[in-house]
Each structure stands twice: as C-alpha cells, then as structure tokens.
Homo-oligomer: A and B are copies of this chain.
Amino acid sequence: MRVTLDIKKLPDKWYNIIPDLEFEVAPPMSPSGYPLGFHDLEPLASHAIIEQELEKDKREVQIPGELHDLYKEWRPTPLHRAERLEKRLGTPARIFYKYEGGSPSGSYEFNTAVVQAFYASHEGTKQLIAATGNGEWGASLAAACNYFDIKCKVYMVRASYEERAYGRYVMELLGAEVVPSPNESTRTGSRVLSQDPDSSGSLGIALSEAFEEASKRDDAKFAWGTVMNYVILHQTLIGLEARLQMKEAGAQPDICISAVGGGSGFGGLVFPFYHERKEGGRFIAVETASAPSLSKGRFAYDYSDSDGFAPLLKMYTIGHGYVPPNIRAGGMRYHGISPLVSALYREKRIEAKTYTQRQAFEAGLEFARAEGFVPSPESSYAIKAVVDEALACKERKERKNILFLLSTNSNLDIAIFKDFLEGAVEDRLASDERIDAAVKDLPQVATG
C-alpha cells in the first residue's frame, strides 16, 4: 500500500527542533575553545546556511519559493506499507517506510544538496567542495550544482575511488571534478601521503582536504552532507511529510527507525515526530558494529575532520583518529554522530542499536524478496532493526506501527549483496582497544 500526499501539501517550512528541546545543545567550538559565531563559519558556508546552523529560536524556517518549486519535482515522496514483508514475518505489526530513493539522484541527500547549491549560487559562489565516502553525497551534490550552474569538486576516499567505481562514475558523468583523497594538492593530503604513500584514506581526511581548499578560496564554499544542524533542518521534510501520511493511514508510529551515519537521515525522519510522540513511543538509531559511535563512543568535543580544520563538535565519537574497518555502507563509517542526535541520546530520548553488516544484508535480502527491490546497505541496517522489532511484536502479539526510513536507491550497491549471497562478505567489527586509544586522544578544549 502506498500513501501519497498531494503536491499542494508539500510543507513550505523546515522544522528546527532546537527550540523544542528541554535541554541545551553544546555549540560548535573553535580549537582554542570559544563557541563559533557567524564570522568564524563564513569561509565555509553561504550566509543563509550559517544563519540556519545557528538558529536557536525559530522552530520553523521558511523554504524559499524557488526551492519549494524545485522540491515539487520529486516531493512529497511516497510512504509505503510493507504488507508483503509483514506477511513473510508473520507479524501483527504494521511496517511503514518513507521512501527517498526516488529523488533525481536516488538519495535523500538531494534534499539538502539543492538547498546548498541554491544559496551558493544566489550568493555568487562559483564552486561547492565536498568530501564523500562511497559517492552518494557527491553524486547528489554534483546533480544539484548542475541545476544552479555552479561547479562541484569532490574529495573521495581513495579506497572507494578505486574499488567502488559506480559512485565515482556517476559524479564524473554529471561533470563533477572527483579527486582521490588523500591528495598531494592539500597540506593534509601531503602530510598523510608522506607518512604512508599507499594510504587508502578516510572520511576524516577527505573532510580536512575539502575544508582546507574551501577555506583558502574566495569563490568556493564547503558543503556538508550530514552531521550539521542545517543539514538535518533540510532533511526534516522527510518526517514532516511522513507525519501527514501516517495520519492519513490512521497509524501513529510506536517505533521510528533509521540507520545513522552522521545522523541527518535519522534526524530528518524522527525530529518532526519528537514532540508529538506516543506515550511509550520509541526512536531507534541503528549503527554499524564497525563504527558504533553512540554505543561505544564518548560524549565529548572532538574534531569533525582528521586534521582539525573543521569545527569541534560535541558529540558521541569513537575518536577522529580512529579509522573504522572498511565496510560497504560507507556513509556509516564516520567517527561521530551529529551533535543534535548525540544530545538526544545523552538525554535518553532515543535508543541505539548495533548490527554487523552481514546481519544487515540478510535483512535487506528478506525485504528485497518481499517488496521487489534491493535496499541500500545503509537502509538494510534499519531494516534489520525493523525485522527484530516486528518479530518481538509477533511474540508479544502486539500490533505496533513501525516506521522506518528507506533513504537511498540501491542499484549502485548491488555487487556487495551479490558478494554477501556468495558468502564473500565478512563482518568487520570495530576494535574496542583502538577506540579506547582514539578517545584518549580527543582535543582539549577550555569548556569541553
């Protein structure tokens, strides 16, 4: 069953959760220990974006008319009920998913990519620069930059650049400049390569390189794909629409589930449900056992990139120096989780669950055979949690409403599922010892 939403009901405001929180969220910080203000962030992002990042009072932020029209090209996105999956599981629970894979780039990340390209273009920026793991964020940004006739450059983690060509191909086909990270053209890249000429890179390194270039250039800005408040703000369209659609379906969610990498998909789905949650309602963030920031990290200020060019953020972190094992859900390998999501976890308003990639792929295949298409690796983590909750409902004979985010079209990732089917995928758990070592090395900040 599909619940559509009339195009006229597309929300015209994003939702800012900060005024609705019962507690403070620690601000981004400079390495020398003072809270960052507008001017500190100016080299990195468009003015409108910085205002959104720092907005503490308005719970609704107006979407510019031109962007609202653009959103209508693919939004509202559909909400589906996965009745065939329910039947396969034999559960009395009702399973709903919000599907974001039908965006032009095939990913929910397009929701924020168009906003960042829009403001950049309106403020005279010529190029957006970003870091990407397996290429989904980069592909969304490349497409959005074309819409507004600005250039796009992407530092792509070298391991993915070389091994997982499809994500890179899409960016290149769309005309973006894609460079492998570490790259000799930056200070960070040179440093890393001088220590290890064969370095396969990490998202933290790619972020440092992209920050470094963006902050040195007057005609370019940096573009975050997740983590920051403003990215989650843009993603709240997901939850705002889902709220209307769940009402239409007569089903208030008992459990909302999303995978977390940096936290923007999770925040986008969950935040609009936060202050009208059911008595006993639950929000579950699903992590990979390869980078369990919420479950095993420390809540502290840490660098958001490897070399400390980017703001310090107070978040659950397994340490900016820790490079998680290489798994195919590249977006989930980041060392921290958005400060907003981290604060909610700290205050016990949300739960975290951790699964291995083999557990995720198995659940993803179960979904595919029921619903007709293969979900992305990231979304498969969410599905594993959904399946577990649905089976718990079966045992307890409870007819709960479970809502999850299916964030991304999966076709670029088919090969990894095939490897899994053939038994060629290993679980790669994070090392507790190495996390311990990495969090001992967190930066010292005055107020931290």
Binding site for B on A (CB under 8 A): 1-2, 4, 6-7, 72-74, 80, 84, 102, 104-106, 110, 143-144, 146-147, 165-166, 169-170, 172-175, 365, 368-374, 409, 411-412, 414-415, 417-418, 421
Alpha-carbon distance between A34 and B166 when the two chains are bound, in angstroms: 51
With a cutoff of 8 Å between Cβ atoms, the chain B residues found around residue A106 in the complex are 373, 409, 411
The majority secondary structure among interface residues of chain A is helix
Are B415 and A412 interface neighbours, CB within 8 A? Answer: no
A378 to chain B, nearest CB (A): 16
With a cutoff of 8 Å between Cβ atoms, the chain B residues found around residue A165 in the complex are 415, 418
Which residue from chain B places its CB closest to the CB of A409 in the assembled complex? B411
With a cutoff of 8 Å between Cβ atoms, the chain B residues found around residue A370 in the complex are 146
15 contacts between A and B (CB under 8 A): A1-B73, A2-B73, A84-B147, A102-B102, A104-B371, A106-B411, A166-B414, A169-B415, A169-B417, A170-B411, A172-B418, A173-B417, A173-B418, A174-B368, A409-B409
Alpha-carbon distance between A421 and B412 when the two chains are bound, in angstroms: 18
Which residue from chain B places its CB closest to the CB of A170 in the assembled complex? B414
* Other contacts beyond A2-B7, A169-B415: 6, CB < 8 A: A2-B72, A84-B147, A104-B373, A144-B372, A174-B369, A409-B411
Residue of A84, A174, A411 most packed against chain B (CB within 10 A): A411
Given known contacts A147-B84, A373-B106, is B1 in contact with A169 (CB within 8 Å)? Answer: no
Alpha-carbon distance between A420 and B65 when the two chains are bound, in angstroms: 38
With a cutoff of 8 Å between Cβ atoms, the chain B residues found around residue A84 in the complex are 146-147
Alpha-carbon distance between A422 and B421 when the two chains are bound, in angstroms: 32
A169 touches which one: B104, B144, B175, B418 (CB < 8 A)?
B418
Alpha-carbon distance between A160 and B335 when the two chains are bound, in angstroms: 40
Alpha-carbon distance between A143 and B418 when the two chains are bound, in angstroms: 16
With a cutoff of 8 Å between Cβ atoms, the chain B residues found around residue A102 in the complex are 102
With a cutoff of 8 Å between Cβ atoms, the chain B residues found around residue A374 in the complex are 170, 173-174
A4 touches which one: B7, B371, B414, B421 (CB < 8 A)?
B7
With a cutoff of 8 Å between Cβ atoms, the chain B residues found around residue A371 in the complex are 104
With a cutoff of 8 Å between Cβ atoms, the chain B residues found around residue A166 in the complex are 411, 414-415
Alpha-carbon distance between A172 and B415 when the two chains are bound, in angstroms: 11
Residue of A104, A365, A372 most packed against chain B (CB within 10 A): A372
Given known contacts A74-B2, A165-B418, A409-B411, is B143 in contact with A373 (CB within 8 Å)? Answer: yes
With a cutoff of 8 Å between Cβ atoms, the chain B residues found around residue A174 in the complex are 368-369, 372, 374
